[in-house]
């Protein structure tokens, strides 16, 4: 450490923003947490490394040296680090049991947006209210359609009832929620004994059959067909048609339901014999009612 001007060093330490210095003292706790999903994560990791790496530094000067290495980044970079360390991931908006702490300004920073108590409650109520109508399990085409409608509903209500930054965080939270439903299905299938449905008709839309334990088997077949959606093109077409529909426009919604009927009728027809065509009408009717119910959530939800 020969050549260091102690007076100059101490002066620079005092000039360091107190919030950044406080964040440094909490580094052990923050490094144990998962890296936040934001563009600053790489920068945060780099600084966390600087904070934890004191090898070869005399203990008398360790805090000073580390603090100065941070301050050398400049005011803008420091603000990004401080902001990311006070920032919770967007899953805090739908995981109500997840503890959320206020930052130095006394607000909840989630997904880059600030929320007070009332706003946090309203955001959680919106996402969980919509999410409660979605299925956590094997996903059918109806489920993918409902997930996309849920995203539209949340995006629409968030833009009308929250600030721009808050609306972006809420929209990302709903997208995260939907993606987790897909991941949950993947985990379930990974733990199941399955085989490919090689039927030339139904296998085009429902390509996975699941093993049925002998003690609960009602038929001689060891595997049972499912309504798990496997036709990626059909899933994409359904979601795109919903994504491109203004759900606040009744005529547009009616047109969407007709389009949904057209898209789904071949796949449902592959599930039912010709003599049970009425079943196809019933299933599509149920799908449409579920989608309309989700859309109507916009009219019932009030902040």
Categorise residue 241: left if φ over 0, alpha if ψ from -120 to 50, beta otherwise. Answer: alpha
Global pTM?
Answer: 0.72
Question: How high is the pLDDT of residue 172?
Answer: 97
Q: Domain residue spans in the chain?
A: 6-85, 127-300
H-state helical runs in 132-249 = 141-161, 164-190, 232-243
> Distance between CA 113 and CA 107 in Å, rounded?
10
Residue 38 is predicted with a pLDDT of 45
Rounded Cα gap, residues 174 and 28, in angstroms? 31
- Render each residue's pLDDT in the chain as its tens digit; 303 residues: 444 444 443 444 344 444 444 444 454 444 444 444 444 455 455 544 544 444 444 444 444 444 545 455 566 665 555 555 568 999 999 998 888 889 888 999 999 999 999 999 999 999 999 999 999 999 999 999 999 999 999 999 999 999 999 999 999 999 999 999 999 999 999 999 999 999 999 999 999 999 988 777 776 688 888 899 999 999 999 999 999 999 999 999 999 999 999 999 999 998 876 656 678 999 999 999 999 999 999 888 877
Cβ–Cβ < 8 Å for 162, 171: no
Contacts for 105-110 with beta carbons within 8 Å, 24 or more apart? 109/83, 110/169
pLDDT at residue 73, as a whole number: 56
């Amino acid at each position: 450490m020969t050549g260091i001007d102690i007076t100059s060093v101490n002066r620079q330490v005092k000039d360091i923003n107190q919030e950044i210095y406080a964040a440094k003292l909490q580094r052990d706790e923050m490094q144990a947490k998962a890296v936040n999903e934001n563009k600053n994560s790489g920068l945060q990791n780099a600084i966390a490394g600087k904070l934890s790496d004191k090898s070869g530094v005399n203990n008398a000067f360790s805090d000073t040296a580390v603090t100065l290495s941070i301050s050398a980044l400049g005011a803008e970079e420091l603000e990004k680090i401080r902001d990311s360390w006070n920032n919770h991931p967007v899953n805090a908006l739908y995981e109500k049991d997840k503890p959320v702490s206020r930052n130095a300004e006394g607000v909840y920073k989630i997904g880059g947006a600030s929320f007070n108590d009332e706003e946090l409650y309203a955001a959680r109520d919106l996402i969980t209210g919509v999410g409660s109508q979605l299925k956590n399990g094997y996903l059918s085409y109806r489920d993918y359609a409902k997930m996309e409608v849920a995203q539209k509903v949340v995006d629409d209500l968030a833009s009308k009832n929250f600030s721009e930054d808050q609306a972006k965080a809420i929209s990302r939270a709903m997208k995260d929620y939907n993606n987790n439903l897909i991941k949950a299905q993947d985990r379930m299938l990974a733990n199941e004994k399955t085989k490919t449905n090689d039927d030339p008709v139904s296998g085009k839309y429902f390509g996975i059959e699941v093993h049925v334990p002998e003690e609960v088997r009602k038929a001689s077949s060891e595997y049972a067909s499912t309504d798990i959606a496997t036709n990626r093109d059909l899933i994409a077409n359904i979601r795109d048609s919903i994504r491109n529909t203004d759900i606040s426009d009744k005529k547009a919604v009616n047109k969407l339901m007709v389009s949904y009927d057209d898209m789904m009728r071949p796949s449902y027809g592959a599930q039912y014999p010709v003599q049970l065509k009425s079943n196809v009408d019933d299933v599509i009717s149920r799908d449409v009612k579920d989608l309309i119910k989700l859309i109507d959530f916009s009219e019932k939800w009030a902040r």
